[in-house]
């Protein structure tokens, strides 16, 4: 990664923030060029602070930071893009927390992934645009599955969905198995190692999301059972690589009052 100069400017999105002391906040920032950065915003909780309004969660902000021994220090902040509609929609806001938690858990500090940054900010934007719509009827559900698949791809964990992860033979149009540990879908002959089954419709949905650019993705209406199956497949892969449950996922599964 590029070495931090003593003072450096960067665009960033706030992934997480924690109150510190009487008036400060510790921030976990995601930046395109420096990866994940931990910084302190001194006095940000004071009502007179010029920083506070520009350091809201998921706000895309232009920052000036000073390199510190343990935490960098936010010296200037200017908000570039706010996602105000998320505030009034619990499901889509929880989706944003979930995407942010995935980034935070998967990335080490100072590990830049500019394409993942672009994917993350677009996903937040899509969730904001979908606020107010029912989860299944909006593009929000598709946006989260697209984000999961392409995050895995970017980090080198692309699940095999076209050829068997066990023997590399092309998958036939039938029910197959799936193993997160082996790296994806399994043909019937290898399915004795499968952790779960994957139906042909679910496989087709995941293949479409994995191989299609978002802007050319057709508008799909996916019934609840198929959504649950696709979610289960992807969650098994994410949990395997993270070796943990994501706190925000359980909240995302709670019924939404849309």
* Residues 28-78 pLDDT 10s: 999 999 999 999 999 999 989 999 889 999 999 999 999 998 999 999 999
Do 107 and 202 share a domain, yes or no? Answer: yes
Residues 180-197, mean pLDDT to the nearest whole number: 97
The enclosing domain of 68 has a CATH number of: 2.40.50.140
Residue 257 lies in a domain: no
Do 74 and 102 share a domain, yes or no? Answer: no
Check residue 255 and give its pLDDT: 59
Among 18, 13, 46, CA closest to 29: 13
* Residues 228-257 pLDDT 10s: 999 999 999 999 999 988 989 988 887 554
**How remote is the C-alpha of 235 from its chain's centroid?**
12
Domain count, the chain: 2
Looking at 81, 109, 139, the residue that finishes a domain is: 81
Pairing mode of beta strands 24-31, 7-20 = antiparallel
Give the residues across from 10 on adjacent strands.
63
Q: Quickly state the pLDDT bin for 25 (edges 50, 70, 90).
A: very high
Domain of residue 100: give its range: 85-252
- Note whether 255 and 94 are within 8 A (CB): no
């Amino acid at each position: 990664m590029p070495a931090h100069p003593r003072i450096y400017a960067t665009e960033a999105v706030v992934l997480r923030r924690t109150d510190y002391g009487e008036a400060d906040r510790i921030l976990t920032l995601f930046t395109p060029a420096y990866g994940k950065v931990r910084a302190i915003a001194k006095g940000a909780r004071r009502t007179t602070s010029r920083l506070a309004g520009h350091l809201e969660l998921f706000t895309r902000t232009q920052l000036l930071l000073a390199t510190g021994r343990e935490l960098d220090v936010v010296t200037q902040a200017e908000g570039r893009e706010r996602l105000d509609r998320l505030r009034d929609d619990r499901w889509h806001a929880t989706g944003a927390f979930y995407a942010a938690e995935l980034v935070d858990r998967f990335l080490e500090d100072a590990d830049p992934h500019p394409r993942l940054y672009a994917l993350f900010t677009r996903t937040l934007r899509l969730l904001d645009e979908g606020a107010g719509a029912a989860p299944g009827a909006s593009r929000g559900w598709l946006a989260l599955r697209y984000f999961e698949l392409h995050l895995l791809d970017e980090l080198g964990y692309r699940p095999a969905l076209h050829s068997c992860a066990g023997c590399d033979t092309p998958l036939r149009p039938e029910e197959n198995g799936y193993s997160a540990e082996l790296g994806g879908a399994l043909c019937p002959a290898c399915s004795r190692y499968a952790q779960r089954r994957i139906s042909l419709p679910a496989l087709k949905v995941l293949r479409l999301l994995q191989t299609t650019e978002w802007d050319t993705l057709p508008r799909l209406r996916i019934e609840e059972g198929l959504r649950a199956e696709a979610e289960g497949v992807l969650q098994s892969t994410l949990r395997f690589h993270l070796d943990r449950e994501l706190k925000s996922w359980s909240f995302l599964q709670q019924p939404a009052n849309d």
